[in-house]
């Protein structure tokens, strides 16, 4: 089943530490409408090519974490089986962590070997099954140029993404012949997609990599097959599972008070740290983890900052509920 939707390019990349510069209004040049229209067309086509109709299917994923945290594994796997939209099975394994969930109608049976999912596994799940994004009105399209990537002709879009008073450069490259999206860079983070395979009425990348600068952090190999027949025990509830019911009327949590850190110095540079966790029924964030802690000093401070934020909790049929979500903390002059 699809797990990605189209978001602004700033949001969809799973970068946790993105270096940006403060934008001066006079520094933003005029944009060529024809260049922008072509950039939007190329991106929309790339998204369409990786948006299949999802029949009953089974997905197999193996991933490698090239710089795993101390004590964590360097490899993991995911397997997802879908018989109907309301009959599914998820199985994630990463080191000693095991997650199994079976959905049968509105009922969910979940087993977790540990309460918190490892950050590396969360990062991998956010990259699947394919990158999908779109250009927002605040994104400035600079140019489109012919290039060669991995020996194949490509068309690369240079752009700047704006968020508040921050500006970050980026590049999107699509295969000139197929139209597949093969590279997305935002700041110093890059997602690369290759080995596309046909699935139903579209195509999906069989290989995905995440880079920061010149360092590869994650590589993923995946395949999806149409499958209508499963073994009788495939959708049995796991042992020691916790039984819940899927919320039929869910309203997302929203922020009440989320102050950012005070700037430490006058600087044009800012660093954004992204975390994953949940907002509890009391509206307080918990189970916080930084995705890829490249700056441990800022990671610890980011957790401290977010832990003091408050939200109006999610609501399930008008009763407070927990919700998993991402959080962003921006450090200026740190």
Q: What tokens does 59 get?
A: 């997905």
Q: How do residues 236-290 score in pLDDT, each as one tens digit?
A: 999 999 999 999 899 999 999 999 999 887 776 778 899 999 999 999 999 999 9
Q: Is 12 a residue whose pLDDT tops 50?
A: no
Percentage of the chain lying above the pLDDT 90 cut:
75
Report whether 123 contacts 289 (CB < 8 A). Answer: no
In whole angstroms, what is the distance from residue 156 CA to residue 183 CA? 9
CATH superfamily assigned to domain 250-332: TonB (3.30.2420.10)
Residue with tokens 């199994």: 100
In this prediction, residue 29 has a pLDDT band, given cuts at 50, 70 and 90, of low
Q: Quick: pLDDT tens for 113-151.
A: 998 899 999 999 999 999 999 999 889 999 999 999 989
If one compares 26 and 193, the residue with the highest pLDDT of the two is 193
Task: Retrieve residue 9's tokens.
Answer: 């390019």
Token pair 């907002």 in the structure block, residue: 279
For residue 250, give both structure tokens: 């869910």
Q: Provide the pLDDT for residue 116.
A: 87
Q: What is the mean pLDDT of the chain?
A: 89
| pLDDT tier for residue 18 given thresholds of 50, 70 and 90 | very low
pLDDT band at 166 (very low <50, low <70, confident <90, very high): confident
Task: Please give the Cα distance from 120 to 115 (Å, whole number).
Answer: 15
Domain ranges for the chain, please list them. Answer: 250-332
Q: In a 3-state reduction of DSSP, which class is residue 124?
A: helix
Are 171 and 156 in contact by the 8 Å Cβ rule? The answer is yes
Lowest mean pLDDT among 37-41, 124-128, 159-163: 159-163
Exposure letters 68-85 (e unless 16+ CB within 10 A, then b): beeebbeebebebbbbee
Q: What is the pLDDT of residue 30?
A: 75
pLDDT for 162: 80
Concatenating the DSSP letter of every residue in 316-327 gives: ETTEEE-EEEEE
Confidence of residue 25 (pLDDT cuts 50, 70, 90): very low
User: What are 212's two structure tokens?
Assistant: 């920061």
Closest listed residue to residue 72, CA positions, set 217, 270, 242, 207: 217
My answer on whether omega of the bond before 213 falls inside 30° of 0, hence cis, is no
Q: With contact defined as beta carbons under 8 Å apart, do 180 and 188 qualify?
A: no
CA count, 13 A, side-chain hemisphere, 125: 19
pLDDT value of residue 151: 92
Res 210: pLDDT? 96
> Buried b / exposed e across 154-168, counting CB within 10 Å, b at 16+?
bbbbbbbbbbeebbb
pLDDT confidence of residue 268: 67
Structure confidence at residue 292 (pLDDT): 67
Nearest to 219 by CA among 14, 15, 66, 3: 66
Q: How confident is the model at residue 294 (pLDDT cuts 50, 70, 90)?
A: low
Query: What confidence category does residue 309 fall into, taking pLDDT thresholds of 50, 70 and 90?
Result: very high
């Amino acid at each position: 089943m699809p797990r990605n939707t189209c978001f602004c390019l700033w949001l969809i990349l799973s970068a946790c530490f993105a270096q940006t510069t403060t934008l001066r209004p006079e520094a933003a040049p005029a944009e060529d409408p024809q260049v922008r229209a072509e950039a939007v067309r190329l991106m929309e086509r790339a998204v369409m090519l990786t948006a299949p109709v999802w029949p009953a299917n089974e997905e197999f994923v193996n991933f490698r974490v090239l710089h795993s945290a101390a004590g964590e594994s360097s490899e993991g796997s995911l397997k997802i089986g879908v018989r109907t939209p309301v009959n599914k099975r998820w199985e994630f394994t990463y080191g000693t962590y095991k997650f199994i969930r079976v959905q049968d109608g509105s009922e969910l049976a979940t087993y977790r070997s540990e309460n918190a999912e490892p950050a590396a596994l969360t990062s991998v799940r956010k990259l699947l099954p394919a990158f999908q994004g779109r250009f927002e009105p605040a994104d400035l399209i600079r140019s489109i140029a012919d290039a060669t990537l991995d020996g194949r002709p490509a068309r690369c879009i240079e752009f700047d993404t704006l968020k508040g008073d921050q500006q970050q450069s980026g590049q999107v490259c699509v295969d000139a012949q197929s139209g597949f999206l093969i590279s997305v860079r935002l700041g110093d983070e890059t997602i690369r997609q290759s080995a596309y395979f046909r699935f139903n009425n579209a195509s999906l990348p069989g290989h995905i990599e995440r880079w920061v600068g010149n360092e590869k952090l994650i590589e993923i190999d995946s395949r999806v097959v149409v499958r209508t027949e499963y073994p009788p025990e495939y959708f049995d509830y796991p042992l020691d599972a916790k039984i819940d019911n899927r919320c039929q009327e869910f309203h997302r949590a929203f922020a009440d008070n989320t102050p950012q850190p005070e700037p430490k110095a006058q600087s044009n540079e800012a660093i954004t740290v992204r975390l994953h966790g949940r907002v509890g029924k009391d509206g307080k964030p918990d189970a916080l983890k930084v995705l890829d802690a490249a700056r441990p000093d800022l990671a610890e401070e980011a957790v401290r900052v977010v832990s003091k934020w408050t939200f109006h909790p999610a609501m399930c049929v008008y009763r407070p509920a927990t919700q998993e979500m991402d959080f962003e903390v921006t450090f200026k002059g740190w």
